Chains A and B, each alone.
Chain A
């Protein structure tokens, strides 16, 4: 995918502008709703027309903001540039779109995300521990567990991963998730399953990772899978295959620690005796 040339500031400016429009339309809606509804109740059709117009304006503005946010998401998922993604999002944590707890929580979350993709797991854990997910939304709770699961996988902590899986599943059994959250939960559940296969040295892990790879569309997840597959080949001393997958990571991994790790591995495989692995 071709890298977007827009800078962080440009993205932030665009989203702030669109959010400004949305805010104006919402305030306008709040002010005009009662007069327009009263006109409609007095059988003046212009009232209904005005209400419809306002509804369309709010809908249109919301869609534009949503589209821009989704476009920004692709900086992480398709361009694999977590630094840029986090920098944009940190500047977009403003009132009234987030409350005080939300701002604090998402700040910690984005910092933890940045730390994770930079390979700084200690700092990531610290930031995660500062998240007040009791007072936060369901979305931030799932994001928290997602990163925590990744942390345990990278730390080869099977018990920690199991505890995280139990925690997230008990959360699911207690609450009925909205459709959007359910999709996210399903993706986290799949990621945890992958982590579990890797950490338990499942004999079919490689085959299953290839199965996941065949259906995966997001570049970041593809890179993550190639990274895991490379590591598994490395473990079984299948160096040619490992190099192929690490090369993919090098080519598409962008600013993630996957790239740094893959580069290190390829460098070592080239310089040292393969038998040392």
Chain B
């Protein structure tokens, strides 16, 4: 019995040490974005867009119709850069093959109205979005319309746009890094 406890203890001990070692390597030895993605078990072929911001990097990854946004921070330690994945948000069925039945303008308005109407949301994610109104909001959308590149929300220009070919149909993706909104009125212009 003692022998069995010793063996099981040794096994779990080695598992814990392996876990800590892997976490340490992830924190200190991800010398490139690709390495950070590899450590996270994400295939780098999925990257469809990469945007460097002031203090972080936005990474857009596609897997079929799903879009994953990763926020990566590069930290300098001992004269070496280390890339750490700070946040991952997955949006399911983001891309589509067909055009939406409603116009882009209406779609954006509906989406933002829906977001602004959330009050005392039980889910922390939605609550975070609600709290960000009037402050800053990361907003992303897709369209089959090329004109969507010129969209203005409350007069604000887009941060960036990029395209993604999903099953032979070009999806135009546009996003605001920090969209400032007034909860009372949302004006969308294309």
List A residues at the B interface (Cβ < 8 Å).
33-34, 37-38, 41-44
In the complex the two chains form, is A41's CB within 8 Å of B19's CB? yes
Q: Cβ of A43: which chain B residues have Cβ within 8 Å of it?
A: 38-41
In the complex, which residues 1-43 of chain B have their Cβ closer than 8 Å to any Cβ of chain A?
A: 14-15, 17-19, 21-22, 25-26, 38-41
Q: Cβ of A34: which chain B residues have Cβ within 8 Å of it?
A: 14, 17-18, 21
Q: Cβ of B15: which chain A residues have Cβ within 8 Å of it?
A: 37
Q: Cβ of A44: which chain B residues have Cβ within 8 Å of it?
A: 38
In the complex the two chains form, is B14's CB within 8 Å of A41's CB? no
Q: How far is the CB of B116 from chain A (nearest CB, A)?
A: 40
The tally of residues in B whose CB lies under 8 Å from a CB in A reads 13
Q: Cβ of A33: which chain B residues have Cβ within 8 Å of it?
A: 14, 18
Q: How far is the CA of A33 from the CA of B11 in the complex (A)?
A: 9
In the complex the two chains form, is B14's CB within 8 Å of A42's CB? no
Contact (A37, B14) CB under 8 Å given A42-B22, A42-B25, A42-B26: yes
Which 3 pairs of residues, A with B, have the shortest CB-CB distance? A37-B18, A41-B22, A43-B41
In the complex the two chains form, is B25's CB within 8 Å of A38's CB? yes
Q: How far is the CB of B100 from chain A (nearest CB, A)?
A: 37
* Between-chain CB contacts (< 8 Å), 17 pairs: A33-B14, A33-B18, A34-B14, A34-B18, A34-B21, A37-B14, A38-B18, A38-B21, A38-B25, A41-B19, A42-B22, A42-B25, A42-B26, A42-B38, A43-B38, A43-B39, A43-B40
Q: Which one of A34, A42, A43 has the highest number of Cβ atoms from chain B below 10 Å of its Cβ?
A: A42
Q: How far is the CB of B13 from chain A (nearest CB, A)?
A: 10
Q: Cβ of A41: which chain B residues have Cβ within 8 Å of it?
A: 18-19, 22
- The chain B residue sitting closest to A138, CB to CB, is B1
Q: How far is the CA of A70 from the CA of B48 in the complex (A)?
A: 61
Q: Cβ of A38: which chain B residues have Cβ within 8 Å of it?
A: 18, 21-22, 25
Q: How far is the CA of A81 from the CA of B19 in the complex (A)?
A: 53
Q: How far is the CA of A44 from the CA of B38 in the complex (A)?
A: 8
Q: How far is the CA of A38 from the CA of B19 in the complex (A)?
A: 7
Q: How far is the CA of A34 from the CA of B17 in the complex (A)?
A: 7
Q: How far is the CA of A128 from the CA of B40 in the complex (A)?
A: 61
Known: A33-B14, A34-B17, A41-B18. 16 other contacts (CB 8 A): A33-B18, A34-B14, A34-B18, A34-B21, A37-B15, A38-B18, A38-B21, A38-B22, A41-B22, A42-B22, A42-B26, A42-B38, A42-B39, A43-B39, A43-B41, A44-B38
Q: Cβ of B40: which chain A residues have Cβ within 8 Å of it?
A: 43
Q: Cβ of B14: which chain A residues have Cβ within 8 Å of it?
A: 33-34, 37
Q: How far is the CB of A41 from chain B (nearest CB, A)?
A: 4
Q: How far is the CA of A37 from the CA of B14 in the complex (A)?
A: 9
Q: Cβ of B25: which chain A residues have Cβ within 8 Å of it?
A: 38, 42
Q: How far is the CA of A33 from the CA of B7 in the complex (A)?
A: 14
Q: How far is the CA of A41 from the CA of B17 in the complex (A)?
A: 11
